[in-house]
Amino acid sequence: MSELLGVPSQVLFGQLLLGLINGSFYAVLSLGLAIIFGLLNIINFAHGAQYMMGAFVAWMLLQYAGVGYWWALLAAPVVVGITGVVIERLLLARLRNADHLYGLLLTFGLALIIQGIFRNEYGVSGLPYGIPPELAGGRNLGFMFLPNYRAWVVLASLTLCLATWFVIERTRLGAYLRAATENPTLVQAFGINVPLLVTLTYGFGVALAAFAGVLAAPIYSVNPNMGADMIIVVFAVVVIGGMGSILGSIVTGFALGIVEGLTKVFYPEASSTVIFVIMILVLLVKPAGLFGRAA
């Protein structure tokens, strides 16, 4: 058995793969944040709460309507996305001319409300949500036992991230979006409904978070606090990546998942802090982030 730095390479491969799985969640979440930030210029603090809502909606669909995992994967992001559209129209739209910091404060308040309501309704012990039977079990890769469901998580989030990237960078709709990011007034002058575009973008970003939530439901317990701690790590991911590019946020998400996975092997005690330490280093060297444009 070959070894690297005293760790059997088999264990190392296993951990790399697991890191990639965690990275999938970071990538999908930071992608959603980046898209929302690009057009609305606000940091969506409620993103973690919306990720949690995704998981809860999937659980409710199963519990109250008997709708299984695969339909939930489609329906939950739509449902949560619609709540996002409502939030944008009713609340965020009123802040269009205010300082961006107010957007952060407003969504922070929303996060408190949403999490509080779910905590009141369902407690915090967590609710069970089973792995879909099609993806139960796993296969032995020689160096580790890989549950099928985890493989699916990586596959699904990679596909989703790349599809989103393609839409934004390579289609006409994406072109409008990018143009509106640069100069909304001019795009409006060309007859494109920018407020609608903004609303739908927020709804889409939120739907991405909900999608990640449904993916997470069978692995982590469905719990009102599941997004609260996640979101701060994702903020650090976003600071590291710089939010300059869509691709940047995806790459940073996956990469940091892997870094975190490696830390769990070499120095597990630091695995919760490593991302923040990397953030400090990046700030010292490249204040605008790895993929960011200078402010």
Partner 1 sequence: MGIRTWLLATTFAIGAMGAAEAQVAVKLGVLNDRSGVYADLSGEGSVVAAQLAVEDFKAKEKGIDVSIISADHQNKPDIGSNIARQWYDRDGVDVILDVPTSSVALAVSQITREKNKILINSGAGATDLTGKQCSPNTIHWTYDTYALGYGTGTALVKRGGDTWFFLTADYAFGHALERDTAEVVKKAGGKVLGQVRHPFPGSDFSSFLLQAQASQAKVIGLANAGGDTINAIKQASEFGIVAGGQTLAGLLVFLSDVHALGLEAAQGLVLTEAFYWDQNDGTRAWSERFAARHGGSKPTMVHAGVYAGTLHYLKAVEALKSKDTKAVLEWMRANPSEDPLFGKGEIRVDGRHVHDMYLFEVKKPSESKGPWDYYNQLSVIPAAEAFRPLDAGGCELVKKS
Partner 2 sequence: MSAHDVAVPAAVEGDGARPSGRTYGVLLAVLVGVILVAPYFLYPVFLMKVLCFALFASALNLLLGYGGLLSFGHAAFFGFASYISAHAAKVWGLPPELAILSGTAAATVLGAVFGALAIRRQGIYFAMITLALAQLIYFVSLQSEFTGGEDGIQSVPRGVLFGVLPLTDDRTLYYVVATIFLAGFLLIFRIIHSPFGQVLRAIRDNEPRAISLGYRTVQYKLATFVISAGIAGLAGATKALVFQLASLTDVHWSMSGEVVLMTLVGGMGTIFGPAVGAIVVVSMQNYLATLGAWVPIVQGIVFVVCVLLFREGIIGVLSRWTKRPL
Residue ranges binding partner 1 (CB under 8 A) = 11, 14-15, 18-19, 21-22, 119-120, 123-128, 130-131, 137-138, 144-145, 147, 149-150, 219-221, 223, 225-226, 229-230, 261, 264-265, 268-269, 271-272
CA distance 171 to 8: 46
Closest approach of partner 1 to the CB of residue 221, in Å: 5
Least Å from the CB of residue 52 to partner 1: 12
Residue 11 burial (CB < 10 Å; 0-12/13-18/19+)? middle
Q: Dihedral (C-alpha) 157, 231, 198, 289: value to the nearest 10 degrees? A: -90
> What's the CA gap between 202 and 184, in Å, rounded?
15
Q: Which is nearer to partner 2, 147 or 248 (CB)?
A: 248
For the bound state, the minimum distance from the C-beta of residue 127 to partner 1, rounded and expressed in Å, comes to: 7
Closest C-alpha to 33, from 286, 268, 244: 244
In terms of Cα–Cα distance, which of 64, 58, 54 is closest to 25? 54
Supply the minimum distance, in Å, between the C-beta of residue 230 and partner 2. 12
Cα gap 207→257, rounded to integer Å: 22
Residue among 76, 55, 67, 72 nearest 126 (CA): 55
Question: Residue 282 binds what, of partner 2, partner 1, none (CB under 5 to 8 Å, by partner type)?
Answer: none
163 vs 232, which CB is nearer to partner 2?
232
> Which of partner 2, partner 1, none is residue 284 near (CB under 5 to 8 Å by kind)?
partner 2
Neighbours of 59 (CB within 10 A): 20
Which one of partner 2, partner 1, none interacts with residue 131, CB within 5 to 8 A by kind? partner 1
Considering the complex, what minimum distance in angstroms separates the CB of residue 14 from partner 1?
5
Amino acid at 31: L
Cβ distance to partner 1 smaller for residue 54 or 242: 54
Question: Looking at beta carbons only, is 160 or 238 nearer to partner 2?
Answer: 238
- Which CB, 188 or 271, lies closer to partner 1? 271
Q: How far is the CB of 115 from partner 2 (least distance, A)?
A: 7
